[in-house]
Amino acid sequence: MRKKLRSNEQCNEHCEDDSCDEEQSKLIYIPSEENDVNNRLIGLYGAIDENRCRDTIAGLYYLKESGKETTVDEEKKVITNYYSPIKFLISTEGGVVADAFAVYDVMRDVRKDCEIHTFGVGTVMSAGVLLLAAGTKGQRRIGKNCRLMLHQITSGNYGHLEDLEGNFNETKWYQERYIDELCKLSKLTKNKMMSILKKKVDFYFDSEAALKMGIVDIII
């Protein structure tokens, strides 16, 4: 999980088409039939970066509104809105923490009205663990063979001393916020999180451990 990208991950200068392999690797699916509950799937597959998170945020809001059904009780003059759940597939090795928090805050907003059923597959690491845990309680799934990982935030900076101090404080803020939010979503305590992160090594664990930690609810 990085505070900043160390290099720009842009398409090759010689790319002749707007689409490329990097773009195609994003698993974003918007159903053709808007209210088809079984096909309301969106995915974040690959590094957590600005482009993928932009599409994920747009997709979450689109699926929320496209799954909206409104009923009107004319006698009681009551309007009720029902939102079909969104399935959110996650497989990532992590990425930029600021972008992850952007998706996280949108998930929190969407979840007020619409359930988000998260499903971790392959690898769910670093900032991806927070997004997996951010699904609706009781509807957070994980593949039996999925691997997860937690570690400290890393960043690379240079410049004047005052700039370095500011960047250090910003990185520290993100680290503390990540710990606070993940603890709210799971059974992990701040002491447990600090003991894991203070080792300054990647902490790998499996789906069974994720279930015990309260990061997920169901193993598939």
Tokens 């999925």 sit at which residue?
A: 146
Distance in angstroms (rounded) separating the CA atoms of residues 29 and 41: 6
7 is catalytic: no
126 is catalytic: yes
Distance in angstroms (rounded) separating the CA atoms of residues 155 and 152: 10
Q: Which of the residues 126, 160, 186, 195 is marked catalytic?
A: 126
17: alpha, beta or left, given left = phi > 0 and alpha = psi -120 to 50?
beta
Q: Which of the residues 151, 155, 186, 207 is marked catalytic?
A: 151
Residue 167: name the closest of 178, 156, 175 by CA.
Answer: 156
Q: Tell me the CA distances in angstroms from 214 to 26, 54, 118, 134, 195, one per residue in order.
A: 28, 28, 13, 11, 17
Residues with active-site annotation: 126, 151
